[in-house]
């Protein structure tokens, strides 16, 4: 390829209006792979694949926070702080809409996965599993309801974490305190 | 526990793939027939860790993760079977969560490590790509083919235009020839109607004066009358010579033959006329005219110059490339002087005229001694004219 030399008549290459950067690269890659996964393996198995990645990531992040805090187990306040902090670090914008004894409702108007998540609900398994795993390990049980999601076209996500067993919707996902966390209690 | 075990055992048979119910600590509670066949069917195994071939720690972590999730989590695992270690893609989830001191019981389903759907999808993508390449290649080749067709079309168009232009050129040349002929006829007519009439009057007056005169004046007037009569004859010759109507009416060979007959009607000379080959109906007018004029002049010369001649032989030969005319007499033959001049251009205009006419149609004219005795004139006219030679000076 001949060298590209910027001169007076052509604008410099690095100032051109080209829609590409680090984020765009990963967004495109993630969206493409989610699409492939959903169309090839079907929605359910796609969720299983993403859940596996998320569950691993969830317990790994949890371990890091616990070690950093020097605790065996996160209490409810720590859990909430950790969930919000985690999302801030991941460039999301989760916030608590309401909470009581039995449930916590979280909102989010900016998905950490950016545009990639649009039309790819299997990617929401990241949120569901990380929140579910960490919450279940902290309080013993969690059922996650993704009531509204950006992935399905909503302006913001509305995620309900049930802390007690209730009647389950078909889409509600249950998480239990895993045996390792239970043993360390 | 027993109740649960029985129930799950029954359920397990609904899965086609090797499936088992195991505790988070690895102890196996139940397995379906497929799992029984796949995982050490000879021996009864009690723990997954007994058949786990390596990466036991990863398996332990995975089982713990499964214990926390009602939904299946996927992990690659490796178990010993009949034919050695075998990799599986394991779908595992909590069936019954941990209760008090009892560990969670898990459902584990073992599928081939490679998801056939992905392989099929990859195959499909590969096929689509190949098809796209193929389509592109076909499109390109179709484009090339249409380019070629377009070129051929353009070539035909140009060739047709050339043909039309050539036809037009030919028509124009014919027209010019006609205009020239018309002009010549007009001049000939003028010469005949004016100069000819005047000449005739002058001749009549001269003869009257000659007849009235005596002595040297009479001889002088006689010479003058002969001279004027000769000039008149030449003018007449020119007028008649400009219009070989006879050729138009009878065709070349008949015209030459009839003319020769006229030349020899006095019976002094024998005439032999031979025609060889097939005379085309469509001989070029210029060719016919030139050969006819050559014949006229050659016959005139034979009568005038071939002293002692007894016979004239004429051969007119047609073939596909040319028409040749030979006129031979058995007279005295050319004088050496005339022979030399014959090459370069003679003093008279007869030979020069013949030469010019033949040159004009790309033909040749030769005059020389005939084998034995006499003179032979040979004119050859090509049917497809050569590029025109310049007339001799
Ligand atoms: N058949 C012939 N036999 C003998 N001599 C000939 C014959 N034809 C031509 N010649 C010689 O060639 C000369 C040149 O002939 P050419 O026709 O050019 O002139 P011309 O006949 O003398 O005059 P013009 O053509 O003007 O009537 C003649 O003068 C004559 O000497
Ligand atoms: Mg002559």
Mean pLDDT value of segment B131-153: 95
pLDDT of residue B5: 47
**Token pair of A120 as six digits:** 């790819």
> How far does the centroid of ligand 1 lie from the alpha carbon of residue B351, in Å?
7
Would the CA dihedral through B210, B216, B217, B223 be positive or negative? positive
Q: Which of A124-128, B114-118, B248-252 is modeled with the greatest confidence?
A: A124-128
The vertex-B281 CA angle with B277 and B287, nearest 5°, equals 80
Is B98 domain-assigned?
A: yes
Which of B86, B114, B142 delimits the end of a domain?
Answer: B114
Is B243 domain-assigned?
A: no
Assign residue B79 the CATH number of its domain. 3.30.450.20
Lowest average pLDDT, out of B164-173, B181-190, B195-204, B307-316, goes to B181-190
* pLDDT band at residue B243 under the 50/70/90 scheme: very low
> How far does the centroid of ligand 2 lie from the alpha carbon of residue B342, in Å?
12
* pLDDT band at residue B231 under the 50/70/90 scheme: confident
Q: Does the pLDDT at position B67 exceed 90? A: yes
Which of B77, B95, B114 delimits the end of a domain?
Answer: B114
Cα separation, A52 vs A57, whole angstroms: 9
Which residues in chain A are closer than 8 Å to B64, comparing Cβ atoms?
178-180
pLDDT of residue B192: 63
Q: Does the pLDDT at position A135 exceed 90? A: yes
Lowest average pLDDT, out of A5-9, A74-78, A154-158, goes to A5-9
Cα separation, B275 vs B256, whole angstroms: 10
Ligand 1 contacts CB of residue B376 (under 6 A): no
Is B145 domain-assigned?
A: no
Q: A47–B69: do the CB atoms touch at under 8 Å?
A: no
| pLDDT tens digits along B22-42 | 999 999 999 999 999 898 777
Mean pLDDT value of segment B36-58: 86
* pLDDT band at residue A132 under the 50/70/90 scheme: very high
Q: Does the pLDDT at position B1 exceed 70? A: no
Which residues in chain B are closer than 8 Å to A59, comparing Cβ atoms?
65
Average pLDDT, chain A: 90
Q: B68–A173: do the CB atoms touch at under 8 Å?
A: no
Lowest average pLDDT, out of A36-40, B214-218, B344-348, goes to B344-348
- Beta-bridge mates of residue A88: none
Is B337 domain-assigned?
A: yes
Is B169 domain-assigned?
A: no
**Burial tier of B315 (Cβ tally within 10 Å: 0-12, 13-18, 19+):** middle
Which residues in chain B are closer than 8 Å to A47, comparing Cβ atoms?
71
pLDDT of residue B393: 37
Residue among A178, A180, A181, A185 with most chain B CBs within 10 A, to mutate = A178
For A41, the closest of B98, B104, B115 (CB atoms) is: B115
* pLDDT band at residue B247 under the 50/70/90 scheme: confident
- What structural domains and CATH numbers belong to chain A? 21-184 (3.30.1380.20)
Ligand 1 contacts CB of residue B8 (under 6 A): no
Which of B114, B133, B158 delimits the end of a domain?
Answer: B114
pLDDT of residue B330: 95
For A175, the closest of B25, B64, B69 (CB atoms) is: B69
Alpha carbons within 13 A on the beta-carbon side of B23: 16
Q: Which ligand sits closest to the CA of B377?
A: 1
Mean pLDDT value of segment A35-41: 92
Mean pLDDT value of segment B347-373: 87
Question: Of B24, B97, B27, which Cα lies nearest the Cα of B62?
Answer: B24
pLDDT of residue B392: 43
Q: B69–A55: do the CB atoms touch at under 8 Å?
A: yes
Q: A176–B115: do the CB atoms touch at under 8 Å?
A: no
Range of the domain at B255: 249-382
pLDDT of residue B391: 41
| pLDDT tens digits along B248-258 | 788 899 999 99
Lowest average pLDDT, out of A121-125, A137-141, B146-150, B245-249, goes to B245-249
Q: A51–B24: do the CB atoms touch at under 8 Å?
A: no
Contacting B residues, span 45-104, partner chain A, CB-CB under 8 Å: 63-65, 67-75, 91, 94, 97-98, 103-104
Assign residue B291 the CATH number of its domain. 3.30.565.10
| pLDDT tens digits along B172-197 | 987 887 787 668 767 766 776 677 77
* pLDDT band at residue B207 under the 50/70/90 scheme: confident
Would the CA dihedral through B229, B236, B184, B293 be positive or negative? negative
pLDDT of residue B54: 79
Average pLDDT, chain B: 85
* pLDDT band at residue A85 under the 50/70/90 scheme: very high
Mean pLDDT value of segment B218-230: 88
Lowest average pLDDT, out of B7-21, B27-41, B65-79, B163-177, goes to B7-21
Stretch (H or E) spanning A48:
helix A22-69
Mean pLDDT value of segment A110-125: 94
Residues of A with CB under 8 A from a CB of B: 36, 39-41, 47-49, 51-52, 55-56, 59, 129, 132-133, 136-137, 173-182
Domain count for chain B, please give it: 2
* pLDDT band at residue B240 under the 50/70/90 scheme: low
Question: Of A65, A73, A135, which Cα lies nearest the Cα of A105?
Answer: A135
Q: Does the pLDDT at position A130 exceed 50? A: yes
Lowest average pLDDT, out of B77-91, B168-182, B206-220, goes to B168-182
Q: B70–A52: do the CB atoms touch at under 8 Å?
A: no
Mean pLDDT value of segment A144-158: 95
Q: Are A105 and A21 a contacting pair, CB within 8 Å?
A: no
Is B244 domain-assigned?
A: no
**Residue B313: helix, strand or coil by DSSP?**
strand
């Amino acid at each position: 390829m001949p060298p590209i030399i910027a001169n007076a008549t052509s604008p410099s290459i690095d100032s051109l209006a080209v829609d590409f950067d680090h984020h765009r690269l990963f967004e495109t890659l993630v969206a493409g792979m989610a699409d492939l996964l959903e169309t090839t393996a079907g929605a359910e198995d796609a969720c299983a694949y993403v859940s596996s990645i998320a569950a691993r990531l969830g317990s790994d992040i949890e371990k890091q926070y616990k070690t950093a805090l020097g605790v065996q187990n996160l209490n409810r306040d720590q859990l909430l702080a950790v969930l919000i902090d985690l999302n801030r670090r991941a460039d999301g914008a989760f916030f608590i809409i309401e909470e009581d004894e039995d449930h916590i409702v979280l909102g989010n108007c900016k998905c950490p996965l950016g545009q990639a998540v649009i039309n790819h609900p299997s990617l929401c398994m990241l949120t569901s599993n990380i929140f579910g795993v960490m919450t279940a390990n902290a309080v013993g049980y969690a059922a996650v309801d993704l009531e509204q999601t950006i992935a399905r076209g909503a302006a913001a996500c509305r995620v309900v974490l049930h802390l007690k067993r209730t009647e389950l919707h078909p889409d509600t996902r249950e998480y239990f305190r895993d045996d390792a966390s239970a043993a360390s209690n | 526990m027993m109740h649960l075990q029985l129930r799950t055992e029954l359920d397990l048979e609904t899965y086609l793939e090797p499936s088992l119910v195991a505790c988070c600590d690895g102890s196996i509670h139940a397995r379906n027939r497929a799992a029984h066949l796949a995982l050490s069917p000879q021996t009864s195994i009690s723990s997954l860790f007994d058949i786990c071939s390596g990466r036991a720690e990863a398996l332990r972590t995975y089982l713990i993760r499964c214990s926390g999730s009602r939904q299946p989590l996927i992990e690659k695992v490796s178990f010993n079977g009949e034919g050695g270690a075998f990799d599986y893609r394991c779908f595992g989830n909590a069936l019954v969560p941990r209760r008090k001191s009892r560990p969670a019981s898990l459902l584990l389903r073992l599928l081939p490590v490679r998801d056939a759907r992905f392989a099929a999808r990859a195959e499909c993508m590969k096929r689509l790509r190949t098809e796209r390449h193929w389509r592109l290649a076909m499109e390109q080749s179709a484009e090339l083919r249409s380019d070629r067709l377009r070129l051929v079309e353009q070539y035909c168009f140009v060739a047709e235009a050339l043909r039309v232009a050539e036809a037009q050129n030919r028509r124009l040349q014919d027209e010019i020839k006609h205009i020239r002929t018309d002009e010549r006829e007009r001049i000939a007519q003028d010469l005949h109607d004016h100069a000819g009439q005047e000449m005739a009057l002058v001749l009549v007056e001269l003869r009257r004066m000659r007849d009235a005169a005596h002595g040297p004046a009479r001889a002088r007037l006689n010479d003058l009358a002969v001279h004027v009569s000769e000039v008149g004859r030449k003018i007449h010759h020119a007028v008649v010579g400009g219009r070989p109507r006879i050729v138009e009416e009878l065709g070349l060979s008949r015209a030459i033959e009839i003319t020769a007959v006229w030349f020899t009607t006095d019976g002094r000379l024998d005439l032999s006329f031979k025609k060889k080959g097939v005379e085309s109906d469509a001989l070029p007018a210029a060719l016919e005219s030139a050969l006819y004029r050559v014949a006229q002049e050659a016959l005139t010369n034979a009568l005038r110059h071939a002293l002692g001649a007894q016979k004239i032989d004429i051969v007119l030969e047609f073939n596909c490339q040319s028409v040749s005319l030979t006129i031979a007499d058995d007279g005295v033959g050319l004088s050496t002087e005339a022979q030399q001049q014959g090459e370069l251009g003679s003093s008279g205009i007869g030979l020069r005229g013949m030469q010019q006419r033949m040159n004009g149609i790309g033909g040749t004219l030769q005059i020389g001694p005939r084998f034995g005795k006499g003179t032979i004139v040979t004119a050859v006219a090509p049917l497809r004219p050569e590029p025109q030679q310049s007339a001799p000076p």
